Chains A and B, each alone.
Chain A
Amino acid sequence: MGKAFAALLAIITLASVYFFAARTWWMPVDISAHGPGVDHQIIETMLLTGVLFLLSQLALAGFVWKFGGPGEGRRISTFPGGAKVVVFAVFVVVGIEILTLSFFGSKVWAGMFFAPAAPNSLHIDVQAEQFAFFFRYAGPDGQFGGIHPELINDGNGNYFGLDPANDVAARDDIVVGSLTIPVNKPILLTLHTKDMIHSFFVPELRIQQDIVPGLEIPIHFTAVQTGKHEIVCTQLCGLGHYNMKAYIEVLPQDKYDEWLKSQSQ
């Protein structure tokens, strides 16, 4: 029984590690400028935890194999060095691991969230609501109109609560249901929500941020590859949460300019 159990433990351990190592299911392609830092951190962590996982589970399997059963004639014995060795090993190995991961990880985090957006960023306003995302570009006048929650009218397409009757800056704001951006240009998104907590996540962009009512939260990134991907909501916001997404399309600069022009007509 013990040997079968040990074998099962080993098989489960190796199978579990296999699917990580083989990347059978893996992160989608990274299209962001800061993404390599995030991916590097994930892979570092995976290697470190993978080694610890293998060692500890295989040790468990090994001990179960070797020390299972009444062991007639065998005496019990204590782990060499006793508890002190375990404590020391954890302090050293896990300690170094968490110091390393913290150090490099905080640099990645700081790059994403401490540093402000580049001054020449393209600024796009995002409105999250039950259950869609809408995006607003400033239009030819380069100014965003003010947001008035009491004027929000989804049936009329006034998702942001703009007041074009009285607010000239709002008249040329471009409001669309998918996010189109140029490649290789810093993008600054200001995230708003009109109702519940939502979240903005593009797996390929390696960026995720909750959108909180009452707060205006900026995030910034640069996409370095063209293509079309999905933005999904990751914070439970009601019954339609599963169906809350928008497409993000990264275009070459000239195609983006064409698209922007076509929206202003």
Chain B
Amino acid sequence: MDHPPAQPTSPQSASTQAATAHVEVHHHTPPQGFIWKYVFSLDHKVIGKQYYFLSLIAVFTGMVLSWLMRVHLAWPTFAIPLLDKLSPNGAPGGVITPEYYLSLMTLHGTIMVFFVLTTAPQAGFGNYILPIQIGAEDMAFPRLNMLSFWVTFVAFCILVSSLFVKDGPPISGWTAYAPLSALGTAGGPGLGLGQELWAFSIATFCIGSLLGALNFIATTLDLRARGMSLMRMPLTVWAWLVTAVLSLLSFAVLLTACVLLILDHVGGTSFFIPGGLVVSDQLQPHSGGSPLLWQHLFWFFGHPEVYIAILPGLGVIANILACTARKPFLGYKVFAYCVMGIGFLSFLVWGHHMFLSGMSPYSALTFSVPTLIITMPAAIVSLLMVCTLYGAKIRFTSFGLFAIGFISVFITGGMSGFFLAQPSIDTQLHASYFVVGHFHMVMGVAAIFGMFAGTYFWFPKMFGRMMNETLGKVHFWLTFIGVYCIFMPMHYIGLAANIRRYSAFVDDYLIPMIPVHKFITVAALLTGAAQLIFLYNLLWSMFRGARAPANPWGATQLEWSVPSPPPFDNFGGKHPVVYHDAYEYGVQGSTGDYVMQDSPEKIVSS
């Protein structure tokens, strides 16, 4: 673990510095004017914040949609005030119609998966923190970076516009299975223009993500400071790097799928529609296509996508845990290899979403094997996180609480994966609330905890101010208890065969489960209200929080070596040199029980 420290550098002339730099970087001068500073900024820090705030708007939009859904499920005839103004057709008299429920569900899933989970952890925090953590001035391609944000923003606007279309927003779920999503208005309300806008929005999002992925990979491989070897990078950078590779490979496939879907709508093609379909009493003018083709294309993207959603969170939490525990992360190299292993395996498992889809049952077994194998690196990283806490000196700050909470919810979410990975069990649990509980636990809770922890941790650096610790802790306790109350019951009723994506529970065997849904709804509304504490804390602290020092948490990574917030070029014209691993905690350092990565001091094991 100890490396012989490099000699402290003596001041060098600018030309020598340039000659010894890894790569020629295009130095940009500080921008002038509001538009170039805050709107079309090329600064990765501004762009990171733009992504972060886009995600914040998206997550609250997605949450409101989920409240509407949950209220309808618990009290189907309840007239929701003002909803009939937003959609007279969707909610006549404020009562949500079956198709409007499905629209709310489709937008909820799409917004949360794409504009929250694929955006904030990677493009939000990654953009802001990664260049500083590796000692770079900015991303490798600042203009591409700016473009990727605005493309993503346009995608969000297109998606939201589908709410205001006359025929309604799409109703086919975030998974948009064909032929429901491909037949156009013949299939029912929301499937014409609404579905087309969905496909355009997602295709646009794909382009933004591809641009971002290129940037992350190039930056991480080429712009690391001197001494920042791959194995000295904070685990966050490993996670962002692997996530970017996953994005690059999988979003290209989704983009293709969306283009084909749009063509089926407007180009008279039949990629996903077989012949002989009778919808609304009419024989449909399509033939030759395959609904399973959409599923293969979608899930080839869709499975890596869920790892894109969680890997940054894993990296962030591992990074934060070391700081919280005041000791090095256990098994740094193992963690890095596991993240790479999970990334690789994620491309081999997509068929586990399709066990019962009508594809060959032999394929089902073939997909089941790597799906079970992927539990192993996931179990290893979970246990590494648990065991990092062994022999620690845990500080229970807000970010610390969320980091430890992450471990708990990630383990819970992972456990239900063992069931769903087996086709023989999937025959009973497929399309049930067991699945809904599983993916919400890993994505809707664990990944979000990653973002909460990241926010509490990096807020001082990003905004130069401190958040309120008491409010942070209250937010944590209410949220942690709340999410278990919402999502654990879903596993139980899922086992009892409560089917998902139903806008109402009218079947005989489902009626007895309605009280559980009422409980879940109340828990969801209360937990949702608790998020307002976070929002208030965030917005208030941005303007009124106490001024933040450079390193309020005693953390070791490079971003804590620069002021809060950092100057526009991160290091004030200096080129940092890295001497140590990323997690030198629990040692006698000159500044405390830690030694920063760029500190030339030798490490004395305490």
Give A contacts to B, CB under 8 Å.
1-2, 5, 8-9, 12, 16, 19-20, 24-28, 37-38, 41-42, 45-46, 48-49, 52-53, 56-57, 59-60, 63-64, 67-71, 74-79, 82-83, 86-87, 89-91, 94-95, 97-98, 101-102, 105-106, 108-109, 112-114, 130, 149-150, 152-155, 161, 194-197, 199, 201, 203, 206-215, 217, 229-230, 232, 234-243, 245
Contact = CB atoms under 8 A, between A and B. Distances in A.
B281 A154 contact: yes
Which 7 residue pairs spanning A and B have beta carbons closest together?
A83-B331, A214-B274, A77-B391, A203-B497, A113-B361, A234-B431, A76-B586
Nearest to B497: A203
B501 A241 contact: yes
Given A76-B391, A82-B331, A242-B502, A109 B418 contact: no
B430 A234 contact: yes
B393 A232 contact: no
Contacts of B493: 25
Contacts of A203: 428, 496-497, 509
Nearest to A149: B276
B396 A208 contact: no
Given A41-B424, A45-B419, A76-B393, 15 more contacts: A38-B427, A42-B419, A63-B386, A69-B396, A70-B395, A76-B326, A79-B387, A82-B331, A195-B278, A208-B431, A209-B358, A212-B292, A234-B430, A234-B431, A239-B98
Contact of B177 (A1, A82, A236): A236
A234 B418 CA distance: 21
A67 B480 contact: no
Contacts of B281: 153-155
Contacts of A45: 418-419, 422, 425
A134 B503 CA distance: 23
Given A42-B419, A150-B283, A213 B428 contact: no
B173 A95 contact: no
Interface string B266-285: 00000001111111010100
A150 B284 CA distance: 10
26 contacts: A28-B496, A28-B497, A53-B415, A60-B408, A63-B389, A67-B325, A76-B586, A82-B330, A86-B330, A90-B380, A94-B375, A98-B372, A102-B368, A102-B422, A105-B425, A109-B364, A114-B362, A130-B279, A194-B277, A195-B179, A195-B187, A203-B509, A210-B357, A212-B292, A214-B276, A230-B508
B541 to A, nearest CB: 21
Given A130-B279, A152-B278, A63 B428 contact: no
Contacts of B171: 238-239
A230 B72 CA distance: 24
Given A25-B496, A67-B390, A242-B504, A5 B396 contact: yes
A27 B331 contact: no
A215 B277 CA distance: 12
Contacts of A42: 419, 425, 428
A86 B334 contact: yes
Contacts of A114: 361-362
Contacts of B488: 16, 19
A98 B481 CA distance: 31
Contacts of A234: 430-432, 499-500
Contacts of B291: 197, 212-214
B127 interface: no
B414 to A, nearest CB: 9
A26 B513 CA distance: 11
B163 interface: no
B372 A102 contact: yes
Given A86-B380, A90-B376, A105 B424 contact: yes
Given A53-B415, A87-B380, A215 B358 contact: yes
Contacts of B180: 196-197, 236-238
A236 B501 contact: yes
Contact of A109 (B99, B102, B408, B423): B423
Contacts of A91: 376
Contacts of A89: 383
Contacts of B326: 76
B96 to A, nearest CB: 11
B372 A210 contact: no
Nearest to A91: B376
Contacts of A75: 586, 606
B516 interface: yes
B427 A112 contact: yes
Contacts of A56: 382-383, 386, 411
Given A60-B407, A69-B394, A102-B372, A239 B99 contact: yes
Given A101-B372, A232-B507, A25 B495 contact: yes
Contacts of B327: 76, 78
Nearest to B411: A56
A77 to B, nearest CB: 3
Given A16-B484, A86-B387, A94-B379, A195 B279 contact: yes
A79 B391 contact: yes
A109 B376 contact: no
A27 B265 CA distance: 41
A217 B358 CA distance: 7
Contacts of B177: 197, 235-236
B93 interface: no
B492 A25 contact: yes
A165 B424 CA distance: 44
Nearest to B485: A12
B154 to A, nearest CB: 28
Contact of B404 (A53, A59, A60, A212): A60
Interface string B384-413: 101111111111100001001001100110
B563 interface: no
B296 to A, nearest CB: 13
B279 A109 contact: no
A259 to B, nearest CB: 21
Interface string B500-525: 11111111110001001000000000
B471 interface: no
A240 B495 CA distance: 23
A88 to B, nearest CB: 10
B227 interface: no
Given A90-B383, A197-B291, A238 B404 contact: no
